[in-house]
Structure 1
């Protein structure tokens, strides 16, 4: 079905995975949907066809095993009737332990299903501002047009909208060699007094405090009016950071490896303009051998309890979740290729056997500060009736985008039927999507689904080895998902 300004119950802007999944789920629940897609009138530089749900980067939907968080997410989507997973399974190609698809056949199947649905009207035109109609779902992806992004920025505040994505790696807590690291915030406090903390990754002048979590020495004056304090780290105290210490030889070898590493080249449509506050670690390293030592690796205020001395340099890890099952490499956003990240970051003392739950990246993106802006139904608090789904809300990856579209549609349908909101349980991967969107961070960053987004097991179950723990979490997730879905 197609047509201009067709009557509808919900407008969905964007015909990618999130927009298509949201439209389909709403329509399956008896709602009339107008799905607005700007192709063929305009394409982003990454797009090459006019089909809906075009996979622009890779044909892989990543790991299929239930011991993998994204594998669990895919199985959950299958069980709840996801259009994207149905089409992916129908167009799958051999890919070992992953789910990969024939991209053209996948897009054709998605387009055919959407256009054939009697309650979905597809309109081909560009949307340059947030539609006045309510409710509306914005699912315009990481390359949202400049005009629509400007409209969104005007509504929520430009400071809450990012146009460039700088992501540091995340490692599993169980894979850290705890005999080589220790927990301590600078000066034993998780706060900054007397000056504003620098952004992670910001290079500093010699002698200038630069790292989040640095505390003032007791004799310093009280903070001037307007100075900021990192309350989240202050509450955590010495649990706020894990320190990986380097001696001088280790540090210099690490810097050389960063500079010499293979990097991902920017795509033609990406104008590489790094923010000074989130420089890739290899860019900082290339500016001079001591740049990192005066930036994110500054050891000031830290004492290695094994030696009683300050190390030459320190790479700090910060908990990614409340249960501290995963840690972020603070200030180490990177454009290194994934294989290079594994090689170089395993040079860090304590991370020699690290399991990486998320790799680092720096690329063009458009996303909002979801924890600050979105309510429980993925609705903008500042604009009631405007919902966000997919990568513009801060998820990463094909499967996660479809999942965010699914969850957004389910919650909106419940709202339109005047039912209490019943989000997926936090023990599930679908619930983990909402956990990520609502989890406050010092600097909100998009993310793929990881086990850190899913509620940990009851401690009464005892300590399990990694694979057994993930399998137990997956078994619990599917059990809780089935109960939730049946009750709905």
Structure 2
């Protein structure tokens, strides 16, 4: 099949870009390295859109949350990622979490059956010299292609470490010690009857011993060329957080607030006392057989992980479907090397999308892939492009990547209200609702304008 657009990388962004173009009638060649005899240090399968870290797309609240608003906008643009996510959805309170295998299978099926998409298992070693191309190779871009990108941009690539959380078999968790509850009992339509998280309570003594174990545990050693690579704050290894202070974890992933331990009921606390600290596990697949340790990304060595994590109350006999890990994450200094349409300056037949542009998170990566697909479709049709306003989640994220951020200090970023055009005349308590309400209205107006922008 001849193609109109070559997309390199079959992750979330590449899959979303391919879908948007194919749905608009353009033929796409989607090149994916995995399945050609090549893989990455973090992937476990050859499936398109494999989720290599958490199985959560984070908050689905589109009334008070920036990423929830991003979900809303993607759904309005017929996002394949959101379509597949709904089919693969598993309980996670007010968050959107998915069965990772069902999710990637849905994405691959939709693209594999589309008459305008050709999926080719091949490694691409260099940026194409001609032809419209979207590069979506993500944080684990192959070394040869990364070198080609560096040569084309004239800038050294930046990098940070991204850590993966362990997954535990549900039937190995001691539910006589743990209990199921969502924090503050928050629910949504996909919630489990009793709650969406398994909670492992800790006393002060247990917590202090665990904290010390994180500090002392045997950790992965860095290679010389990795030594100065910074961590991303939104995906910090738990032992790195622990090193920041003895109570850091109790105000982070191990915070106990809003969780009433039914094993610790007193006349003063008839619903159960809050534990001193808590480890939460979130359902990872639709069957409910696998649960991941929330916020427990780690660079501890495997043996150290097993020994330490089995000291957590309720996990003494834990069987791990996957242990935590660490991989290097590569991204462009996008404000410096990309234009406002994600095109490479000096080679505008090449666009970049997804995590390689410096957005962080599954949903953000997918959203930038979606926008790259629409931009490219409009370019092929001879139609002008008008970016969504910065009052919307997509517009704010795109603006950050393509020029609003300082190039000298550019780092990966999740979508957040700090990227939006500010609201100064709204009280603090009403501000989140005001951001999302304004964003929905402005996004609707932008969609109407997009169809009438003159060439």
TM-score (norm 1): 0.61
> Does the CA-based 8 Å contact 1:263-1:335 persist in structure 2?
no
Q: 1:455 aligns with which of 394, 412, 421?
A: 421
Q: Distance in 2 between matches of 1:269 and 1:28?
A: 46
Superposed displacement of residue 56, structure 1: 1.0
Is 1:107 the counterpart of 2:104? The answer is: yes
Structure 1 residues 226-265: aligned runs within 5 Å: 262=214
Superposed displacement of residue 273, structure 1: 4.9
Is 1:26 the counterpart of 2:21? The answer is: yes
Superposed displacement of residue 447, structure 1: 1.0
Q: Distance in 2 between matches of 1:443 and 1:166?
A: 19
SS at 1:57 equivalent: coil
> Does the CA-based 8 Å contact 2:42-2:52 persist in structure 1?
yes
Q: Distance in 2 between matches of 1:266 and 1:274?
A: 18
> Does the CA-based 8 Å contact 2:56-2:98 persist in structure 1?
yes
Q: Distance in 2 between matches of 1:424 and 1:127?
A: 32
How many pairs align?
330
Is 1:54 the counterpart of 2:57? The answer is: no
> Does the CA-based 8 Å contact 1:64-1:70 persist in structure 2?
yes
Structure 1 residues 44-443: aligned runs within 5 Å: 44-66=40-62, 67-159=64-156, 161-164=157-160, 262=214, 271=223, 273-276=225-228, 335-336=237-238, 340=242, 343-344=247-248, 364-437=328-401, 438-441=403-406, 442-443=408-409
Q: Distance in 1 between matches of 2:392 and 2:77?
A: 12
| Structure 1 stretches of at least 4 aligned residues deviating more than 6 Å after TM superposition | 263-270, 358-362
SS at 1:152 equivalent: helix
Q: 1:37 aligns with which of 22, 25, 32?
A: 32
Structure 1 residues 91, 359: closer, same or farther in 2, change over 3 A?
Answer: closer
Is 1:482 the counterpart of 2:444? The answer is: yes
Q: 1:8 aligns with which of 3, 12, 19?
A: 3
Superposed displacement of residue 432, structure 1: 1.5
Superposed displacement of residue 28, structure 1: 1.1
Structure 1 residues 462, 62: closer, same or farther in 2, change over 3 A?
Answer: closer
Superposed displacement of residue 262, structure 1: 4.0
Superposed displacement of residue 263, structure 1: 6.9
Superposed displacement of residue 407, structure 1: 0.9
Structure 1 residues 346, 50: closer, same or farther in 2, change over 3 A?
Answer: closer
Q: Distance in 1 between matches of 2:109 and 2:379?
A: 28
**Deviation per CA, 1:202-221, whole angstroms, max 9, x where unpaired?**
xxxxxxxxxxxxxxxxxxxx
Q: Distance in 2 between matches of 1:45 and 1:267?
A: 17
Q: Distance in 2 between matches of 1:123 and 1:26?
A: 17
Superposed displacement of residue 60, structure 1: 0.8
> Does the CA-based 8 Å contact 1:266-1:272 persist in structure 2?
no
Superposed displacement of residue 395, structure 1: 0.7
SS at 1:150 equivalent: helix
Q: Distance in 1 between matches of 2:361 and 2:152?
A: 26
Aligned to 1:17: 12
Is 1:471 the counterpart of 2:437? The answer is: no
Q: Distance in 1 between matches of 2:83 and 2:217?
A: 34
> Does the CA-based 8 Å contact 2:162-2:329 persist in structure 1?
no
Superposed displacement of residue 88, structure 1: 0.1
**Deviation per CA, 1:357-398, whole angstroms, max 9, x where unpaired?**
x99999611111000011011000121211000011001111
> Does the CA-based 8 Å contact 1:11-1:133 persist in structure 2?
no
> Does the CA-based 8 Å contact 1:46-1:269 persist in structure 2?
no
**Deviation per CA, 1:303-339, whole angstroms, max 9, x where unpaired?**
xxxxxxxxxxxxxxxxxxxxxxxxx99xx99644597
Structure 1 residues 266, 279: closer, same or farther in 2, change over 3 A?
Answer: farther
Q: Distance in 1 between matches of 2:333 and 2:131?
A: 22
Q: Which structure 1 segments of 5+ residues have no match?
A: 1-5, 168-258, 281-327, 348-357
Is 1:445 the counterpart of 2:419? The answer is: no
SS at 2:428 equivalent: coil
> Does the CA-based 8 Å contact 1:411-1:421 persist in structure 2?
yes
Structure 1 residues 486, 374: closer, same or farther in 2, change over 3 A?
Answer: same
Q: Distance in 2 between matches of 1:406 and 1:10?
A: 14
Comparing 41-50 with 397-406, greater Cα deviation is found at: 41-50
